[in-house]
Amino acid sequence: MELSLTFQYQPPKLPQFRRSSHYLIGDTRICQVSNFSRRASRNLTVLTPKTCGAIVAKKKSTIESLSEEMNSIASQNMDFAPARRRVRSAFMDVQQKLDHILFKTVPPGIRTEEWYERNSRGLEIFCKSWLPKESVQIKGALFFCHGYGSTCTFFFEGIAKRIASSGYGVYALDYPGFGLSEGLHGYIPDFDELVDDVIERYRNIKGRPELNGLPHFILGQSMGGAVSLKVHLKQPDEWDGVVLVAPMCKIAEDVMPPPAVLKILTFMSKVIPEAKLFPEKDIADLSFRDSRKRKMAAYNVIAYSDQMRLKNAVELLKATKDIESQVEKVSSPLLVLHGDADKVTDPLVSKFLYEKASSKDKTLKLYEEGYHSILEGEPDDRILNILDDIVSWLDSRCAVK
């Protein structure tokens, strides 16, 4: 399950700053840092606040109904891709047997493929496709951008299969450092670089024979919404439509940290960019309205659920500011879906995007009482209705050729 994208930030208590309020700039509280001491371990220098103790990974919670052996597998260090791949392999059968609508009602005949490609920086990127059964002609291609901490596997498997069964080729990848792709787990050193990785991979996939002459759509969820928007802004003429689910695309002014705090945050991100920050609370309660499905989110064992790394906070802020400054340039046909009770990404921001985008063909759908994870965490009938809304929108914007 992905982390919240509404941070609570408490500025460091330095002599020149006496603020006591909290600031929302992403999904994690940045631990109060004061009176840093320096300790060295071989070639690694770690800054640790005397008042807070060392910055360490939080202990993973035990998953109910799992054996001690499986919990041990799930709790291992997954900083690097080989470990994440081993854990995913161990959990595939367990995940598919979960009592969730996305796993229980799998359409028959869906063709899937998994592969790895090296990006221009030499990292192995995990990719996956879902195609309708052989007898169904493909109407168009849908390319997915996952949310922060998440992966294109697990819950998205069920989402992709349902959309594929309606006649679409669905393609997805894990960003560097997330899911099954190489890179330090949960680390975004440069958001624009991440976007370029997505463009690079999806450009290759668009050249596949089965997609020749077909319309191309991009689907982004939460942080993946920001990724999708930046992809569209860099390639304004290469997409036939953009679908956004609870997108992260703007930080509200009333929760934006003051410039002085941002300056400190930026400086710290250069000194200890990979340092993990202590989150204020588990956001599963805010993401999943259905309590039974909320417990299943823990089975997404390769998701990054640890403290947010310091550089990530800066990169997400930069990304949303960049999107906000260019929102009028969003020109593609646009579908925005959001739960109106979302406490993770603000539905008012989706309204802002809808109003400011220059798209002549744009639709905003707000779902009453819906939480953040509207594709995974709502009652079954709501999940199916939202998937139907996506497919209906796609159908009306493409035709079988």
Q: What's phi and psi for 36, nearest 5 deg?
A: -65, 140
Question: In which residue ranges of the chain is pLDDT below 70?
Answer: 1-59, 252-256, 278-282, 399-401
Measured CA to CA, the distance from residue 240 to residue 216 in angstroms comes to 5
Q: For 356-375, how does the pLDDT look when each residue is reduced to its tens digit (9 = 90+)? A: 999 999 999 999 999 999 99
Q: For 158-194, how does the pLDDT look when each residue is reduced to its tens digit (9 = 90+)? A: 999 999 999 999 999 999 999 999 999 999 999 999 9
198 touches 206 (CB < 8 A): no
List, in order, residues 6 or more apart from 58 with CB less than 8 Å away: 278, 279, 306, 307
List, in order, residues 6 or more apart from 146 with CB less than 8 Å away: 2, 152, 156, 172, 174, 175, 178, 179, 221, 223, 224
Give me the pLDDT at residue 25, please.
Answer: 38
Give me the pLDDT at residue 158, please.
Answer: 97
**191-206 helix and 310-326 helix, angle to the nearest 10 degrees:** 70
Give me the pLDDT at residue 75, please.
Answer: 94
Give me the pLDDT at residue 57, please.
Answer: 53
CA 75 vs. chain centroid, Å, equals 21
Where are the chain's structural domains? 36-395
Measured CA to CA, the distance from residue 116 to residue 122 in angstroms comes to 12
The CATH H-level superfamily of 36-395 is Alpha/Beta hydrolase fold, catalytic domain (3.40.50.1820)
Give me the pLDDT at residue 255, please.
Answer: 59
Of 66, 54, 6, 28, the residue nearest 278 (C-alpha): 28
